[in-house]
Structure 1
Amino acid sequence: MSPPARWAPFPREAGPKPPPPARGIRMKRAGTTWWGKRWVEALERMAPDDAGRLARGRTYARTGRTHDLTVKPGLVTARVTGSQPRPYKVILTIARLDDATWAKAIAAMAKRASFAAELLAGRMPEDIESAFRSAGTSLFPERPEDLTTACSCPDMANPCKHVAATHYVLGEAFDKDPFLLFELRGRTREQVIEAIRAARGAPARARRAGAGKGAPCAGGAPAIATVTPGKMAAKDYDAWREAPPALDVALEPPAAHAALLSQLGAPPGWTEERSPAELLGPLLRAASERAREIAMAEGAPRGRGRG
């Protein structure tokens, strides 16, 4: 992270610390997903010897002192109510990826069906970085110069507790909506998914177009196969003309478990720290795998013994 820019410090005024505003964002826990954790780790790598400021930043995040958070391509802004009557302004900037880089990353994503399935389920594929690596970049900030911070507080530390609070609140926002990471890098959820669909659909359309072309005949028109039905007796209508081919059925596990739960999100009044998909996902996965074992005769149903 590059050194923070600073505005003129606020004059310190005596008096109690202002309470958190009603619109403050109260973070419960940041980094509950692997992508949210990567974002939080990026902050903690910047201040390995300043656990105190990071702890105060977490306290600010939990008590709702961060508010007016906005995420735009390349830019995050927030206000943090600190010890002064006027909130401090925090700005985080990260480079937007250009069109050519996005095109390479999306082309790499389109080669993996699991990527599209995970993204449609509202999750970030664990190896998404491989797609961005192939485009010569990273989705997450890795070097100090990848992320620039600015805060209007007088603290010259980098990060200050207000920047840390914003970073933690943003990490929880990423946990809930991984597509904010894409938006921060210059693409919306709809743009990424539509681009992946278009890239994956192009080869299929080409194959269908090729398969639909008949072999040309002498007159230039495609040859059309003709079928002449033979004579059949009434008793033959219900009889097999030949033995049916053997059926080879394969039940593949889904690329993304609990996809529908992830898309629906938490219902109104949900108070658990973990989402419904996180709580119920392992149960759905176990049930799905057991059903597959039974269907493919890989195991027998367990009966209840008499006790």
Structure 2
Amino acid sequence: MADDQWWRDAPAGPIRVADGLRARSQRGEIARSWWSRRFLSVLESLGLGGRLDRGRRYARQGQVLSLSLSTSIVVGQVQGSRPEPYRVRIGVRAFTDEQWTAVEQALAGQALFLAKLLAGDMPEDIEDAFESVGLHLFPDDAHDLSMDCSCPDWQVPCKHLAAACYLLAESFDADPFEILAWRGRSRQQLLDNLRELRGGAESQRPEEREAPLTELLEGFWGSPATPPAPAGPLVAGAPDAILDQLDALPVVVRGRPLVDLLRPAYRAMVEEQR
């Protein structure tokens, strides 16, 4: 048989994989969280129903052999009908340090953002903070994504790319910080920067921020002022998350905000109860 007749002996379906990555959801929608559904909405808006259906089946059957995310790029391998797995790549533009600085300043303006992120949740209005500085956290359309696959299918996304996207959405369900890391900011770096910005929020009143603790003792036992109400419901999660929901205290001890000194105590109390 001539070499150009290879397709006559090609198997009708993919080569089944025993230990591939398998979607947790085996029926219905794959994405559970609003942020994962928001990511998949771009993919599903392309109207490629047949390929997306086959991509979901691939994801649920475990045809994706590997999937890894780093700044700006997701790479993976998907087993198709040929012996050699196909290489898939899904790219998105990472934000610059200057753009992230602007985003962090917008996020730090609301204590609830940091509290929810500390609890492993993605605030529903976090997109507003990005849009306020002219950026979009999620791709707006297919043009915001760079996708390619080594398979012979000319359509993008093919079923192999679709399978990778569905598994990527499930990974976003488990850890929303992966979306931010994809855009160029790691979990630790973002939280550290937001804590620092929140700790300096009281700089709008420098005369109070710089006042040493010894000058505040005289009125310590006086009638306290009514504390402001939190910006939203309290969020369970990190033991010190409540400190990020309240306005910064105008107290500095040895050059450090009082909130920073209270964090270890909150964490120690929780550890002692476990």
1:208 shift after superposition:
5.1
Amino acid aligned to 1:20: V
Q: Which has the larger radius of gyration?
A: 1
Match of 1:169 in 2: 167
User: Does the alignment pair 1:26 with 2:23?
Assistant: yes
- Of 6, 14, 25, 2:10 maps to 14
CA contact (8 A) 2:42 2:142 kept: no
Give the SS at the match of 1:211.
coil
From the superposition, tell whether residues 166 and 256 of structure 1 become closer, same or farther in structure 2 (CA, over 3 Å): farther
Q: Give distance in 1, aligned partners of 2:223 and 2:187.
A: 44
CA contact (8 A) 2:37 2:169 kept: yes
Q: Structure 2 stretches of 5 or more lacking a match?
A: 1-5, 242-274
What amino acid maps onto 1:84 in structure 2? R
1:74 maps to: 72
C-alpha contact (below 8 Å) 2:10/2:81 kept by paired residues: no
Using the TM superposition, give the Cα deviation of residue 212 of structure 1 relative to its aligned residue in structure 2, in angstroms: 2.8
Partner of 1:113: 111
Letter in 2 for 1:259: G
2:120 partner letter? G
SS at match of 1:96: coil
* TM-score of the superposed pair, with normalisation by structure 1: 0.66
CA separation of 1:247 and 1:118: change in aligned 2, threshold 3 A:
closer
Over residues 79-103 of structure 1, what are the superposed CA-to-partner deviations in whole Å (9 max), with x where a residue is unaligned? Answer: 1111111111100111010011100
The residue identity in structure 1 corresponding to 2:50 is G
Instruction: Pick closer, same or farther for the CA change 1:194–1:249 going to 2, 3 Å.
Output: closer
SS of the counterpart of 1:259? Answer: coil
State how far apart, in whole Å, the 2-side matches of 1:184 and 1:60 are.
23
Contact 1:27 1:61 in 2 (8 A): no
For 1:121-145, what per-residue CA distance to the aligned partner results, in whole angstroms no more than 9, with x for missing partners? 0011101111111221100000332
- The aligned residue for residue 248 of structure 2 is none
Whether the 8 Å CA contact 1:115–1:128 is kept in 2: the answer is yes
CA deviation after TM superposition for structure 1 residue 194, in Å: 0.6
Alpha-carbon offset, residue 245 of structure 1: 5.1
| Residues 148, 157 of structure 2: 8 Å contact kept | no
2:144 and 2:100 map into 1 onto residues whose CA distance is 17
- For structure 1, the 5+ residue unaligned runs are 1-10, 215-223, 228-243, 264-307
Matches within 5 A, 1:1-307: 12=7, 14-15=10-11, 17-28=14-25, 30-45=30-45, 47-48=46-47, 50-204=48-202, 206=206, 209-212=209-212, 255-259=233-237
State the 1:257 CA deviation.
3.7
CA contact (8 A) 2:21 2:64 kept: yes
Q: Supply the AA of the counterpart residue of 1:36.
A: S
State the alpha-carbon separation in 2 of the partners of residues 54 and 203 from structure 1. 47
Q: 1:138 to 1:249 in 2, by over 3 A?
A: closer
Matches of 1:250 and 1:199 in 2, distance apart?
20
Conserved 8 A contact 1:31-1:39: no
Assess, with a 3 A threshold, how the Cα gap between structure 1 residues 247 and 107 changes in structure 2: closer, same or farther.
closer
Deviation at 1:188, TM superposition (A): 0.5
Q: What's the secondary structure of 2:200's corresponding residue?
A: helix
Query: Percent identity over the alignment?
Result: 36
Identify the structure with the greater helix proportion: 2
Q: How far off is 1:18 after superposition?
A: 1.5
The verdict on how the C-alpha distance between 1:249 and 1:101 changes in structure 2, with shifts beyond 3 A counting, is closer
Residue of structure 2 equivalent to 1:217: none
Question: What letter matches 1:14 in structure 2?
Answer: A
Say if 2:43 and 2:142, in contact at 8 Å, map to a contact too: no
**Does the aligned pair in 1 maintain the 2:73–2:89 contact within 8 Å?**
yes
Corresponding residue for 2:266? none
The 1-side partners of 2:136 and 2:77 are apart by 28
